[in-house]
A and B are shown apart, each in its own frame.
Chain A
Amino acid sequence: MPRRLGPDAPDDAQAAEAFAREALLHLDALYGFARWLARDRADADDLVQETMLKGLRARASFQPGTNLRAWLFTILRRTFLNAEARSGREQPAASGPRSPEGAPAGGGRLPDVPVDPEPALLAAVSRRAIDAALAALPAEYREAVWLCDVEEFTMAEAAAMLHCPVGTVKSRVFRGRAQLRASLKDYAR
């Protein structure tokens, strides 16, 4: 844990410690997102740690009162993209499917007609099925669905994180859900 500061500690250090404490509240959420982005657990660990340190060092650019979780998610995603670019790997929009639990990934097809399974069927699907269906999504759909539907960010917040218009996020969420429904219907059969 960050150490408690003495009475003579500089204000900056106290502010940094307070910031670190608050940022640590979002560690699990950041890790959950990182596990979907990164190739493996070790990369996800590195990504989360780098995000937290970058956030701490850049805390002056964070506006108090705004959404710290969204701000950290933005740093995490940008850090991931930069690392991918440095290593020469493909960008996530074109990358293959990933799954935190190594679930089997499908082909990433987009159904022509959205399928509308019974809600009861969806309630019965397993974690494995959900993970596999998410892993089968194109990365850009998966990001949008994860941020909006799982992490419950607003579409405006997701758009800011993804550096795209709100309409694009809506479209990705819509298409991502359609594909998920199709995949999950297959699993439910």
Chain B
Amino acid sequence: MTDEERTTDGPVEDGDVDSPADRALVAALRAHASRPPAPPALRARVEAALATEVARLRGDAVPAARHAARPAARWRVASPALAAGLAGLVVVGVTAATLTSLPGTSRRLAADTVRAAQVEYDRLEAQGPTVLVDDPAALSRRLSDALGVPVRIAEPAGGQVRTRGTAPAALFGRDGVAVFFEAGGKTLMLTLVPSPTGLPPENRVRLGRGRPFVAAAGGTRFVLWRQGPLFCALAGDLSEARLTALFRNLRPGIQVGT
């Protein structure tokens, strides 16, 4: 406690360190309490993360220009309930349904979902990962903690995709987590949120049994699917062929418990 605080707060009755016993206790705490220094690996990790953030600021004209160059969103933002209704019905598969293949109502709902995913993708891409993760066990623990169900993601063999980190994410008003990958110098992002349940029947739209949903918005392409209790959105500024190839590569390594 400082003299300044004593002056400000007046005589201290509790928590004073004037007694010899308190002085001895505080001295013992300062001398012996465990205060391990940050491990060198952590220091290096933090320094790298900060350097990345500074570099991002230094080069922020690049993403800003790219975002500005994107066409204006063609789709209006729907109510979360409608978007959630769609999200709850996207199912897993190996071939893709596309936006243009859908009937009118379904197309609008799909567009709303993709639009929501795009907004979140843009936010997260500008922000970057908040935690750098390169250990599969740490990644699994982080995802499971954030999502409330066991989740494991194994990097595909061949080194095409490398895990970079995670950040808190949200879609349809539900908190989840985004996993950042690097794939051939490009950012690939997998956003996972608890999938909506208990939707009214009128909001249910079938997008194709056994198929993920592939769409593009503002230069970003998305593969959307539902896996167990989660809604999953894989996104990147990649060609559709490249993204779906990465999806096929990554998807078998994603395991979700209940």
A-side residues, CB < 8 A to B, are: 1-3, 5-6, 9-10, 12-13, 16-17, 20, 23-24, 27-32, 35, 42, 45-46, 48-50, 52-54, 56-57, 83, 86-88, 99-101, 103, 116-117, 119-120, 122-123, 125-127, 129-131, 134, 145-146, 148-150, 152, 154-156, 166-167, 169-175, 177, 180-181, 184
Q: Are B1 and A16 in contact (CB under 8 A)?
A: no
Q: Are B5 and A101 in contact (CB under 8 A)?
A: no
Known: A20-B50, A119-B21. Is A130-B29 also a contact (CB below 8 A)?
A: yes
Q: How far is the CA of A23 from the CA of B35 in the complex (A)?
A: 18
Q: How far is the CA of A155 from the CA of B35 in the complex (A)?
A: 20
Q: Are A28 and B35 in contact (CB under 8 A)?
A: yes
Partner of A154, one of B4, B24, B36, B51: B4
Question: Inside 8 A of A148's CB, which chain B residues have their CB?
Answer: 1, 15
Known: A154-B5, A169-B15. Is A32-B35 also a contact (CB below 8 A)?
A: yes
Q: Which residue of B lies closest to A5 (CB)?
A: B58
B50-81 Cβ-contact flags toward A at 8 Å (1 or 0): 11011101101000000000000000000000
B15-26 Cβ-contact flags toward A at 8 Å (1 or 0): 101011111111
Q: Are B21 and A42 in contact (CB under 8 A)?
A: no
Q: How far is the CB of B169 from chain A (nearest CB, A)?
A: 12
Q: Which of B89-97, B138-146, B204-212, B240-248 contacts A (4 or more CB under 8 A)?
A: B138-146
Q: Which of B39-47, B104-112, B152-160, B228-236 contacts A (4 or more CB under 8 A)?
A: B39-47
Partner of A87, one of B33, B127, B138, B146: B146
6 A-B interface contacts by CB (under 8 A)? A53-B53, A119-B21, A123-B28, A127-B34, A149-B25, A181-B21
Please indicate which of the listed interface residues B14, B25, B35, B132 has the most CB atoms of chain A within 10 Å of its own CB. Answer: B25
The interface residues of chain B, by DSSP majority, are classed as: helix
Report, as a range, how many residues of chain B touch the other chain. 35 or more
Q: Are A24 and B26 in contact (CB under 8 A)?
A: no
Q: Are A145 and B54 in contact (CB under 8 A)?
A: no
Q: Are B46 and A56 in contact (CB under 8 A)?
A: no
Q: Is B102 an interface residue when CB atoms closer than 8 A count as contact?
A: no
Q: Are A1 and B53 in contact (CB under 8 A)?
A: no
Partner of B51, one of A3, A35, A45: A3
Q: Are B1 and A119 in contact (CB under 8 A)?
A: no
